[in-house]
């Protein structure tokens, strides 16, 4: 019997604190176009992607986040993983939709949100590129956001916000918007973060709702041990960590490192291979 990963509660729903990220499945490497192509080629087969998802599910990690609305391949892989495990995934959809201030645009947005529900999502967190168009820094508000949050609730989805801009967390809490969670970039390098690491840490700790952190390894710029150790040890017990990977082997490593962080022990991993190891480097 495999160990089960710790869980937290968002909007009354139990979710795994480790979240399956999907950037590597979709070819969003944040490095080079050749790396994007390599990532996509590894995951062009939905069965392969499903095998990685199943590795996480083996440990009770059943929460997955990504732009399901725009990626049928991702939906197919998730369905295969569910069918093979007999278990349900908790989908956090992050759709991009039209936020122009017109009846036509609102209808378009509502149709996108309805599609999230049809895809089997539990949570709907409008993508950061969508929400950031509504931010008014002068008034410290997110204009017309309640309209979209109501659409999400009306479709029996749980609302949250994808927040690359840290202001979104602060303004949402200040104005009491109807959201249950936030996505926030957080890593030890400050990669893609818009303010200093220390202040992002304070925003996370002061947030009124659980925060789903993303990019813990700064898109491969630090090793999983370094990136995950930093994030797990500097967030709250209600918060989550999202990470993607290319293979089942990488998934196993990420899971073991995460368990080790939470259990305050050294991870049980094989040493890295290198042409000439010094005598003091242990093999494990």
**What string of H, E and C letters represents the secondary structure of 156-219?**
CCEECEEECCCHHHHHHHHHCCCCCCEEEECCCCCCCCCCCHHHHHHHHHHCCCCEEEECCCCC
For the segment 156-196, what is each residue's pLDDT rounded down to a tens digit? Answer: 999 999 988 999 999 999 999 999 999 999 999 999 999 99
**What are the E-state strand segments in the chain?**
7-10, 13-16, 18-20, 63-66, 90-93, 123-124, 135-136, 141-142, 158-159, 161-163, 182-185, 211-214, 240-243
CA angle 130, 218, 173 (to 5 degrees): 45
Distance CA 41, CA 53 (A): 17
Q: In terms of pLDDT, which residue wins out, 273 or 54?
A: 54
Q: How does the average pLDDT of the chain come out, rounded?
A: 93
The pLDDT of residue 282 is 63
CA distance between the termini of the chain: 24
- Residue with token string 């390599």: 38
Are 75 and 103 contacting, i.e. CB atoms less than 8 angstroms apart? Answer: no
**Angstrom distance (rounded) from CA 35 to CA 29:** 6
CA separation for the pair 38, 41 (Å, rounded): 5
Predicted local confidence at residue 40, as pLDDT: 82
Q: Please tell me the predicted confidence (pLDDT) of residue 41.
A: 84
Query: Is the model's pLDDT at 97 over the cut of 70?
Result: yes
Domains of the chain: 7-263 (3.20.20.100)
Number of helices (H), then strands (E), in the chain: 11, 13
Hey, which residues does 66 pair with through a beta bridge?
Answer: 93
pTM to 2 decimals?
0.93
- Predicted local confidence at residue 277, as pLDDT: 61
Model pLDDT for residues 108-167, shown as the tens digit of each residue? 999 999 999 999 999 999 999 999 999 999 999 999 999 999 999 999 999 999 988 999
DSSP conformational letter for 238: T
Dump pLDDT digits (tens) for 190-210: 999 999 999 999 999 999 999
Cβ 168 vs Cβ 132: under 8 Å: yes
User: What is residue 141's predicted lDDT score, i.e. its pLDDT?
Assistant: 97
Spatial separation of the C-alpha atoms in residues 186 and 234, rounded to whole Å: 10
* Separation between Cα atoms, residue 212 and residue 250, nearest integer Å: 21
CA distance 41 to 206: 41
Average pLDDT, integer, range 238-250: 96
Q: How many CB atoms lie within 10 A of CB 199?
A: 12
Helices 46-57 and 248-263, packing angle to 10 deg: 20
User: C-alpha angle 69/245/259, rounded to 5°?
Assistant: 115
In angstroms, the Cα distances linking 75 to 22, 53, 79, 81 are 11, 12, 6, 10
């Amino acid at each position: 019997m495999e160990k089960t990963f710790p869980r937290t509660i968002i909007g009354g729903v139990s979710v795994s604190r480790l979240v399956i990220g999907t950037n590597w499945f979709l070819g969003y490497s944040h490095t080079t176009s050749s790396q994007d192509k390599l990532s996509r080629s590894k995951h062009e087969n939905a069965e392969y992607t499903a095998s990685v998802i199943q590795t996480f599910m083996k440990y009770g990690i059943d929460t997955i986040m990504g732009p399901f609305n725009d990626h049928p391949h991702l939906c197919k892989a998730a369905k295969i993983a569910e069918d093979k495990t007999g278990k349900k995934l908790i989908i956090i959809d992050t759709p991009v939709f039209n936020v122009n201030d017109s009846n036509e645009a609102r209808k378009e947005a509502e149709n996108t949100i309805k599609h999230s529900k049809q895809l089997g999502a539990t949570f709907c967190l409008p993508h950061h590129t969508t929400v950031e168009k509504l931010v008014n820094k002068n008034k410290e508000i997110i204009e017309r956001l309640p309209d979209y949050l109501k659409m999400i609730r009306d479709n029996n989805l749980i609302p949250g916000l994808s927040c690359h801009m840290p202001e979104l967390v602060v303004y949402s809490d200040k104005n009491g918007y109807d959201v249950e969670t936030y996505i926030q970039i957080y890593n030890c390098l400050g990669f893609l973060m818009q303010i200093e690491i220390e202040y992002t840490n304070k925003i996370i700790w002061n947030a009124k709702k659980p925060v789903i952190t993303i990019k813990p390894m700064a898109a491969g710029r630090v090793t999983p041990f370094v990136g995950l150790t930093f994030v797990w040890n500097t967030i709250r017990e209600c918060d989550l960590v999202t990470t993607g990977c290319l293979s089942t082997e990488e998934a196993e490593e990420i899971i073991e490192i995460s368990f080790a962080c939470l259990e305050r022990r050294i991870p049980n991993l094989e040493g890295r291979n290198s042409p000439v190891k010094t005598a003091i480097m242990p093999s494990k």
